[in-house]
Structure 1
Amino acid sequence: MGRPNVRLQLTSIIKGKYIACRKLGEGGCGVIYEVALIESPHRRFACKAEDQDSGRDEEILKMEAKVMKKINQTKSIHCPLWIEGGKFENYNYLIMTLLGPSVSDLRKAIPSQKFTLFTVIVIGVQALDALREVHNAGFVHRDIKPSNYAIGDTGTPKEKLIYILDFGLARAYRVQTPEGKWILRNPRRTAQFRGTTRYCSINAHDREEQGRHDDLWSLFYMLVEMIIGNLPWKNMTDHATAEREKTDKEQELLDQSPKEFELYLTHVKQLGYGITPDYELLRNIFLNVFKRNKFDFSMKLDWEKDGKYGNLYSWNRCSLPRVTSKDSTVFTLEQLLKMPKNLVEVTEDMALKTQEREWYATISSHDDTLEEEAEKTIEPEVQLPSLAMDSSPRKKSYENRKKEQLATPKYTPPKQEQKMDAPKLVTPKYTPPKSQEQKPNVPKTPEKKTAVIPLYIPGFQTAVIQKSPVQKKRSTIEEKSREKKADAGKHSPSKVQQKQVQGFFFSG
């Protein structure tokens, strides 16, 4: 992505209300300026601007404004306040609370690149609370890293307060049913990569749909880096290599971290897209470290004036009057950490327990068709960015999603009263009755037997030879002729008889 082409520079007037007085940063999404309210120059804000003609399908600021407004409705203390936003000249802009330096900048100012354990635990508790506010608003951040956390204005009581930033890559994980019930949005079979390679979860490397547990994995990597100074895969850009390194070096990271961090991972590993994390349990894990090391609320954070590295920070100030805010709320560490009077020591059995899975939006956990409807249901006036589906789904991602699909209950809409259909008439097949009348006895025609003629041959046994049709006919004719001769012999006397008769007459 090229450099932003936003016509916003020092002394630029925005909407006739704000004047740009200091450039805070620049990135692929645009530029960030410190701006002063023209009517009250001592009041300062942060202004993010992105080019309208960037040609991108995703409008980062629109998504960021949407998420910030949702979180602000929950009375969050860890999310900057959305002031206003819109379009001006050739760019989109967003006015929000002006904050201090990011946690990443604070760490880089230390030669060892390490915070004290006290500071890490304070950051961890507040970063977890900030994530909880984002998740309760219905979103997954998907880009948790030190540069997306910042402290309040330095030199004020708010420099103890940790804020969460940059919601441009966030995604809604809940949708609302027609009955008004909030349920899980369907996870996609495969999703585009979102996040930072150094801090993202293994699921993100595998192009799986990211859930709340993936933000917690990123938080783990972030806190471990603050403790040991570096992550083994810091300079790796290849996803497969970084994923393998994260798997192989997991125990090595735990060996260099407080023993309670292993319980943190034990719980996170039990989670899935459809399971709500036990935020209180994870919070107590960090507070167990605080208690075991006998930390005190009067201790100073590393970047405070009397902190361990306070002398390393020289904050660049604008030449204009000092930043002020209408919000004069004072926060103490005791208020931010909310240490229970009877803090429970978290055990492995407690870390292994998880809450029940939530309902999916439809019967099929692979259904992507609710994306547009879900976005309109959550907030009709602003649409979520359209995240294209990866055209090459991975086998591992599909198998993991299939396992979760089988183990996750599906949402069944309430049954409606159905009209009873008339019973179908089934006509039986006609079978004629069996006749009880007895058939008359009809004499059977005797079968014609084949005539045989014994043939006598001297020296051989008698043989039986069947006659052919021609032979049968011939024998019949001969038999008839013999019968005729026999009949004729009965009526005509033979020669001997004639002589006897003649002699009889002569004698008479």
Structure 2
Amino acid sequence: MGTIAVESAPTVVGSGRLVTGRYRLTTLLGRGGMGRVWLAEDELLRRRVALKEVVLPGHASEHVRASALAEARAAARLNHHNVVKVLDVIEDSGDHWIVMELLSGRTLADALTSDGPLPATEVRRIALHLVDALRAVHRAGLVHSDVKPANVQLCDDGRVVLMDFGIATALDDEQTLSSEAMAGSPAYMSPERARGDAVGPASDLFSLGATLFAAVEGKSPFGAGDPFSTLVAVVEARPAAFVNAGHLRPIIEGLLAKHPADRLTVDQATTALRPSA
């Protein structure tokens, strides 16, 4: 979930709606468990934007809903080349929307579906950009909580962008992820998050490792066919066999350590990923 590039897509119900008297929905770009993303026209500034309709599970508490919007507002304060720019968080007729910059290109997930595994050198380049993005996110006091190929945009100009802060959490939020708050993709979830424990920056680093594994090997390291089996694999199993990773293998393994304290940090990952390392 999180595609915000311009691609051809069929018109669906909702197209043409004017949100807050300003944003005209045109094309549905993507959908997922946390909502739908639209191409929209900002009729005030006469520009195109991506508009995400935040749709949390029906059983989510008001606290969870409020937290999701609060962290989206926090993400709006981020200003980093490798993090999608959140322009606004708005409400219209009881619906909540996140206004984001519109990006070119395609997601890493789409690239893997179309082209298969990426060369290790390209994955290294992508990884360095994502580590920089996570450094900025964590310094802002946030945990992204949903790092995965579908939330990584590969722009036409070479820019790599981490997207979708719909389930980000604040570092000082004492709430753990109970079943009502559980969201995201099991195959890219950290063991502590899968267990419902409190999460921190290390959780994003685990998800980064799973994302890099998928990028270079063409599949999730823990995909087991169904969500429950996948979560069990995340918590208990070793990752799938490495075939294409080459020099990236020890870095990915360091990110995929089961215990947060044993994982590579952002700085350690950066050092290991630099070509001179």
TM bin (shorter chain): 0.7 to 0.9
Alpha-carbon distance in 2 for matches of 1:87, 1:251: 43
**Alpha-carbon contact 2:214-2:220 (below 8 Å) kept:** yes
**Counterpart code for 1:102:** T
Residue of structure 2 equivalent to 1:132: 135
Q: How far off is 1:21 after superposition?
A: 2.0
**Alpha-carbon contact 1:34-1:47 (below 8 Å) kept:** yes
**Counterpart code for 1:272:** P
Q: How far off is 1:241 after superposition?
A: 5.9
Q: TM-score if structure 1 supplies the norm length? A: 0.45
User: Could you say what secondary structure the match of 2:186 adopts?
Assistant: coil
Aligned match for 1:168, one of 145, 166, 169: 166
Aligned match for 1:119, one of 118, 122, 125: 122
**Alpha-carbon contact 1:142-1:169 (below 8 Å) kept:** yes
Alpha-carbon distance in 2 for matches of 1:243, 1:256: 25
Tell me the alpha carbon deviations over residues 428-463 of structure 1, each in whole angstroms, 9 at most, x when there is no partner.
xxxxxxxxxxxxxxxxxxxxxxxxxxxxxxxxxxxx
Tell me the alpha carbon deviations over residues 372-418 of structure 1, each in whole angstroms, 9 at most, x when there is no partner.
xxxxxxxxxxxxxxxxxxxxxxxxxxxxxxxxxxxxxxxxxxxxxxx
**Alpha-carbon contact 1:198-1:236 (below 8 Å) kept:** no
**Counterpart code for 2:143:** V
The structure whose residues are more often strand, as a share, is: 2
Q: What aligned pairs does 1:93-492 form with structure 2 within 5 A after superposition?
A: 93-100=97-104, 101-110=106-115, 113-152=116-155, 154=156, 159-174=157-172, 191-192=178-179, 193-231=182-220, 233-239=222-228, 242-244=231-233, 248-250=237-239, 252-253=241-242, 256-263=244-251, 265-266=253-254, 269=257, 272=260, 278-287=265-274, 291=275, 343=276, 345=277
- In the alignment, is residue 45 of structure 1 matched against residue 55 of structure 2? no
**Alpha-carbon contact 1:140-1:211 (below 8 Å) kept:** yes
In angstroms, what is the RMSD of aligned CA positions?
3.4
Q: How far off is 1:45 after superposition?
A: 0.3
- Identify if the C-alpha distance between structure 1 residues 8 and 88 changes in structure 2 by more than 3 Å, giving closer, same or farther: farther
Q: Whose radius of gyration is greater, 1 or 2?
A: 1
Alpha-carbon distance in 1 for matches of 2:120, 2:13: 41
- Identify if the C-alpha distance between structure 1 residues 285 and 58 changes in structure 2 by more than 3 Å, giving closer, same or farther: farther
- Identify if the C-alpha distance between structure 1 residues 238 and 20 changes in structure 2 by more than 3 Å, giving closer, same or farther: closer
User: Could you say what secondary structure the match of 1:131 adopts?
Assistant: helix
**Counterpart code for 1:137:** A
**Alpha-carbon contact 1:233-1:246 (below 8 Å) kept:** no
Question: Which consecutive unaligned segments of at least 5 residues does structure 2 have?
Answer: 1-11
- Identify if the C-alpha distance between structure 1 residues 160 and 224 changes in structure 2 by more than 3 Å, giving closer, same or farther: same
- Identify if the C-alpha distance between structure 1 residues 248 and 256 changes in structure 2 by more than 3 Å, giving closer, same or farther: farther
Question: Which consecutive unaligned segments of at least 5 residues does structure 1 have?
Answer: 1-6, 175-184, 292-342, 346-508
**Alpha-carbon contact 1:123-1:162 (below 8 Å) kept:** yes
Alpha-carbon distance in 2 for matches of 1:200, 1:55: 21
Residue of structure 2 equivalent to 1:24: 29
Alpha-carbon distance in 1 for matches of 2:170, 2:76: 16
Highest relative contact order (Cα 8 Å, sep 6+), 1 or 2? Answer: 2
Q: Number of aligned pairs?
A: 263
**Alpha-carbon contact 1:151-1:163 (below 8 Å) kept:** yes
Residue of structure 2 equivalent to 1:14: 19
User: Could you say what secondary structure the match of 1:106 adopts?
Assistant: helix
- Identify if the C-alpha distance between structure 1 residues 61 and 160 changes in structure 2 by more than 3 Å, giving closer, same or farther: farther
Q: How far off is 1:230 after superposition?
A: 2.0
Alpha-carbon distance in 2 for matches of 1:141, 1:71: 9
- In the alignment, is residue 73 of structure 1 matched against residue 77 of structure 2? yes
- Same amino acid, percent of matched pairs: 19
- Identify if the C-alpha distance between structure 1 residues 258 and 248 changes in structure 2 by more than 3 Å, giving closer, same or farther: same
Q: How far off is 1:18 after superposition?
A: 2.3
Q: How far off is 1:114 after superposition?
A: 0.9
Q: How far off is 1:120 after superposition?
A: 0.9
Alpha-carbon distance in 2 for matches of 1:128, 1:265: 15
Q: How far off is 1:212 after superposition?
A: 1.5
Q: How far off is 1:216 after superposition?
A: 1.0
Tell me the alpha carbon deviations over residues 287-314 of structure 1, each in whole angstroms, 9 at most, x when there is no partner.
2xxx3xxxxxxxxxxxxxxxxxxxxxxx
Residue of structure 1 equivalent to 2:5: none
User: Could you say what secondary structure the match of 1:147 adopts?
Assistant: helix
Q: How far off is 1:260 after superposition?
A: 4.5
- Identify if the C-alpha distance between structure 1 residues 68 and 162 changes in structure 2 by more than 3 Å, giving closer, same or farther: farther
**Alpha-carbon contact 2:27-2:39 (below 8 Å) kept:** yes
Q: How far off is 1:146 after superposition?
A: 0.6
